[in-house]
Amino acid sequence: MTPEQIDGIRKSSKLAGESLIYINQFVKEGVNTAYLDRKIEEFIRDNGAIPATLGYNGYPKSCCISLNEVICHGIPSENTILRPGDILNIDVTTILNGYFGDTSKMYWVGEISAEARSLIETTKHCMNLGIQQVKPQNQFGNIGFVINRYARTKGFSVVYEFCGHGIGVKFHEEPQVDHVARANSGPRMKEGMVFTIEPMLNAGHARCKIDKHDGWTARTIDGRLSAQYEHTIVVTSTGYEVLTDVEGEYPL
């Protein structure tokens, strides 16, 4: 990407990150996920952008909201109502002036189990370990290598059927960013590359099954919990910049 393009992606990414902060106040017991989707869509449009998922390959909503055993691509619905003990991922992708930004984080309702807390913390740490691998000349495989190695020490499995992806002037582009990979494998990172790191960790088995009826919702095969975090990142001359970071958490 050129510096001008990176600047455009940075602005879109900031907006996607801000939408995840904005929605926090609405995540409460009794709220349905279609309502959260509407609030997200309103926020995105009020800020001059478009939700990228709306109509993407026929996807019907402005974000993905994935509860409990849903790994990713949960479709917001009036029938999905938040209950105490639920954990959920909200994944937002914005298009601002033609540039894409993609990010997701975890939320929870009331008291959650020790397993749920550990899964959420471990998933965020895995994403951060992956982000710390981003620098010119490092190989993409090292991202998946450190993510999977750490997840396993905590007894969790890493989903290998969905990956991070190049992003910027399209939603999904090259390269594919695996979250399970061999050390020192894959292409090398170059200054100006923009891509996501978005590991999904499961409490039990790594595999997913896609809902037969809606064709989108990916669930764990054993019904156990899943968590995900995602950031959009650019390779800089010395390392990385997390474009969707709005809380000043990075660089680590």
Stretch that binds ligand MF3, among 26-34, 55-63, 125-133, 185-193 (CB under 6 A): 55-63
Strands lying side by side in the sheet with 157-158 = 157-158, 200-202, 226-228
Integer Rg of the chain from CA: 17
**Per-residue exposure over 178-207, b if at least 16 CB sit within 10 Å of its own CB, e if not:** bbbbeeeebeebeebbbbbbbbbbbbbebb
Q: Does 41 bind ligand MF3 (CB under 6 A)?
A: no
Q: What one-character-per-residue DSSP string does 165-216 give?
A: EE-SSSSSEEEEE-SS--TT-SPBP-TT-EEEE--EEESS-S-EEE-TTTS-
DSSP class of 237: S
The nearer residue to Co ion, 154 or 172, going by C-beta atoms, is 172
Q: Does 123 bind Co ion (CB under 5 A)?
A: no
Nearest-angstrom CA–CA distance, 123 and 199: 7
Q: What is the smallest separation between the CB atom of 110 and ligand MF3, expressed in angstroms? A: 26
Q: Does 196 bind Co ion (CB under 5 A)?
A: yes
Q: Does 102 bind ligand MF3 (CB under 6 A)?
A: yes
Nearest-angstrom CA–CA distance, 170 and 102: 11
Q: Does 241 bind ligand MF3 (CB under 6 A)?
A: no
SS3 state of residue 242: strand
Residue 209: beta bridge partners? Answer: 219
The nearer residue to ligand MF3, 53 or 157, going by C-beta atoms, is 53
Stretch that binds ligand MF3, among 33-41, 52-60, 115-123, 137-145 (CB under 6 A): 52-60
8 Å CB contact between 224 and 202: yes
Nearest-angstrom CA–CA distance, 233 and 243: 5
The nearer residue to Co ion, 91 or 241, going by C-beta atoms, is 91
x/- track of binding to ligand MF3 for residues 64-93 (CB under 6 A): x--------x-----------------x-x
Q: Could you tell which of ligand MF3, Co ion, none binds residue 107, using a CB distance below 5 to 8 A set by kind?
A: none
What DSSP element (H or E) covers 147? helix 141-153
Q: Does 62 bind ligand MF3 (CB under 6 A)?
A: no
The nearer residue to ligand MF3, 59 or 145, going by C-beta atoms, is 59
Q: Does 102 bind Co ion (CB under 5 A)?
A: yes
Stretch that binds ligand MF3, among 51-59, 111-119, 136-144, 244-252 (CB under 6 A): 51-59
> Site residues (CB under 5 A) for Co ion?
91, 102, 196, 198, 230
> Site residues (CB under 6 A) for ligand MF3?
53, 56-57, 59, 64, 73, 91, 93, 102, 198, 216, 230
